[in-house]
Amino acid sequence: MTAEIRLVEVTDANRDAVIAVRLRPDQEQFVASVEKSFQHAEQYPDAKPWYRAVYAGDEPVGFVMLSWNLVPGPGFRGPYFLWRLLVGAEHQGRGYGTAILDEVVTLLRAEGAKELLTSYVPEEGSPEPFYRGYGFVPTGEVDEDGEVILTLDLTTRP
């Protein structure tokens, strides 16, 4: 059973509550914070960042950020690249990560996207098992930071 979530635009009214969503300390080496994600979105507008807070009921439980329909080029993979996916420490293990991906996949398919790319740091404790379990597979590429690139075929996944 998948958790029920909503993807909500980040506004001045909810920004602080979304920034307060934190990972477990042992996960911080793998996924940048929400605040750092906002900084990256500002620093790299050419990456066409699209981001949303993830809510369960009235509570922010996570955050997701993609490069949305960009033309791939030096330093940018796409057209759709899952840049950040995080679920707050106290909300993990409830199906929110899968629900977030399900929602993102639905949105991407509506855009006509054929694949979603992402990457992970290949170290113990990385999100690789989660992504592989969802259906992402390695492309055989490693980026300049040593992250393994994964792809999800959006034309075959139910």
Say if residue 1's pLDDT is above 60: no
Which pLDDT band, with edges at 50, 70 and 90, does 30 fall under? confident
User: Which domains does the chain carry?
Assistant: 6-153 (3.40.630.30)
Q: What is the mean pLDDT of residues 8-36?
A: 92
The answer, yes or no, to whether the previous bond of 79 is cis (omega within 30 of 0) is yes
Q: CB burial class (10 A; 0-12, 13-18, 19+) of residue 66?
A: buried
Q: How much is the pLDDT for 52?
A: 97
**117, 81 contact by CB (below 8 A):** yes
Say if residue 41's pLDDT is above 60: yes
Say if residue 111's pLDDT is above 90: yes
pTM assigned to the model: 0.92
Q: In what order do the strands lie in the sheet with 137-142?
A: 6-8, 49-56, 59-68, 80-87, 115-120, 148-153, 137-142
